[in-house]
Amino acid sequence: MDKSAIKSKIEALRNELAEHNYKYYVLNQPSISDYDFDMKLKELEALENENPEFFDPNSPTQRVGSDINQEFEQVKHEYRMLSLSNSYSKEELVDFDSRIRKLITEPFEYVCELKFDGASISLIYENGELDRAVTRGDGEKGDDVTTNARTIKSIPLKLKGPGYPSKFEIRGEILLPFATFDELNKAREKAGEPLYANPRNTASGSLKMQNSAEVAKRRLDGYFYYLLGENLPEDGHFENIQHAKKWGFKTSEHTQKCKNIDEVLEYIDNWDEKRNDLPVATDGIVIKVNSIRLQNNLGFTAKSPRWAIAYKFSAERVSTILESVSYQVGRTGAVTPVANLTPVLLAGTTVKRASLHNADIIENLNLHINDEVYVEKGGEIIPKIVGVDESKRHPMAIKVDFIKNCPECETKLVRQEGEAAFYCPNESGCPPQIKGRIEHFISRKAMNIDGLGQETIELLHHEGLIKNSADLYELKAEQIIPLERLGEKSAQRILKSLEESKQIPFERVLYALGIRFVGETVAKILANKLINIDQIMNSTIEELADINEIGGKIAESAIAFFEQEANVQIIESLRSHGLQFELDEGSLEGRSEKLTGLSIIISGTFEKFSRDELKKLIEKNGGKNVGSISKKTSYMLAGSNVGPSKLEKVQKLGIPMISEDDFLKMIE
């Protein structure tokens, strides 16, 4: 290949990898497997090494990667937190062993660990207590997510027993167990919301949520596997992890010491078969030199440690036939395509369906009916189509085009700018949307109506007894008793529960209305800020968007909801039946306007209140919490350990700093 062709090939690979990065990290819509991505990256890396004249500092090969979010305080890692180099073949592991043996002349051991597929975290402990939790970030610095980390039950806040250093760091992986991920997706599917793609992305996104109470509901888990510090108990990495387990950390029972590379390869063979039996996602094995002294001698390259390597499992992939594509309509009107497949065994289960997520994925795959498609599960719960064998496509095969009209009511679908999904706009006449909204209304976290479920709602709707949630309060015993599978006892239970629901507090009633993007947390924020439904309905987009944690997307959705006359009529009907559409006196107690017009950023740790408690006090007194510093910031409420970058920015902009005591005097 001449230099011109090589340059063109390099540029094409760079552009392709950049596009895949964008789809993966920004759109959360990966269109290529991790293995295929890494193979393309290795090809590019080899071409660049052989042709240094085409070096580009912005090439994907020069990217370490970063999960930094400007909404969080950035903290510099005391020890760099870099990623591992990946291998996909045993030959590469043998080469790794040969390189190590050239550099180390004394006997040594390896440690093999399961490579958990989640979000990397660094925890710093001082005097046996959790001081700070920081994400990997760009390896040099990461986001301070301490408040969120404190909600994770497998992270000890205080250590057990003696023997731990006065200060040390432990690293691990924050995960979402398969069972929990499955529950979350079932709830989203029922609510008509797009499904999460995989446990890894969901765990990472959960860790970066602004509301720690919402993080707690995600029930994240974690495994911890690496200690750093000046006074560790042992030189052996494996032995230090055993100490960490005694101190209260959750460690993997499957970590194993190996005398040589042959034992490492046996460990890999064993777990390549057994990994599908684990309760959490794993995507490989990490191999480390056990001695910390030898680790320090081996040191680091620019991007990874020389003393460790990751062996990545290939995601299990099978081929089958795409028989058809069907479409599901959720309560919000979102239309989700589903691939119907010839049944095939994959990762221990029979797969008949695979999510296609949206129209763009169908288009990118260039799907045709009766295509032979490749399906992967790997760390995913939901099988996905990752490719097509176009060489086996029949010349008369029919291309899959995303439908133009709703499969339930025939209304023309719409796609809003910036969104991947198509929606049916016929909110009041599309049966799945009507029934979905009523099912959401009666759900446990909303109105919690006992005796009603999906089948009963289907029956009541089919019989013409309900067309919206307000109709539930018009039901009579004599209408319910004759219905199939019900009867007098069921009727009495339903009517009793409906009557009791009239005492459900306003924020849950607001959530029950099913306004798009208004979940439990947003409903609570709106209710506490605006007090009653009339103030919410009469607010402008700008007024709603200005409320902390609301923003333009939610504000637009709320305004659009209240502009629908049918929705307003339902609210008035529910109000006439006695439902709560304003905060009760207990919730209003202690409110003031002392901080009205003030934007306050909180940073550091405090003695009298937690950060979440201080945020609530700011809002209760009319102020606004902000997550980043700007000229509009009125004050920084500063505790101890404020990050130097934030201090510098505050001083540069001349923003006043107040202490916890100063703040409490302001709201006395």
Active site residues: 115
* Beta strand ranges found along 117-165 (DSSP E): 119-126, 129-135, 141-143
Residue 188 gets which letter from DSSP? H
The long-range contacts involving 418-421, CB below 8 angstroms and separated by at least 24 positions, are 420/27, 420/29, 420/194, 420/357, 420/358, 420/359, 420/360, 421/194, 421/334, 421/335, 421/336, 421/358
Residues with Cβ within 8 Å of 16's Cβ and at least 6 positions away in sequence, in order, are 40
Residues with Cβ within 8 Å of 209's Cβ and at least 6 positions away in sequence, in order, are 148, 215
Kind of pairing between the strands at 599-603 and 635-638: parallel
CA angle, 188 as apex, 369 and 539 as ends, to 5°? Answer: 120
117, 54 Cβ separation under 8 angstroms? no
The DSSP-derived string for 327-365 is EEE-TT-EEEEEEEEEEEEETTEEEEEEE--SHHHHHHH
Q: 3-state class of 275 per DSSP?
A: helix
* Count of H-run helices and E-run strands, the chain: 25, 21
Phi/psi at 44 (5° precision): -65, -45
CA atoms within 13 A on the CB side of 646: 28
Residue with tokens 């064993």: 270
Pinpoint the alpha helices (H) of 22-89: 34-50
136, 310 Cβ separation under 8 angstroms? no
Both tokens of 118, joined, read 């989640």
With CA atoms as reference, report the closest residue to 422 among 401, 399, 398, 440: 401
Residue 316 gets which letter from DSSP? P
- Residue 108's alpha-carbon distances to 93, 233, 559, in angstroms, are 16, 19, 66
332, 352 Cβ separation under 8 angstroms? no
CA atoms within 13 A on the CB side of 662: 10
Both tokens of 395, joined, read 């010349």
CB atoms within 10 A of CB 454: 13
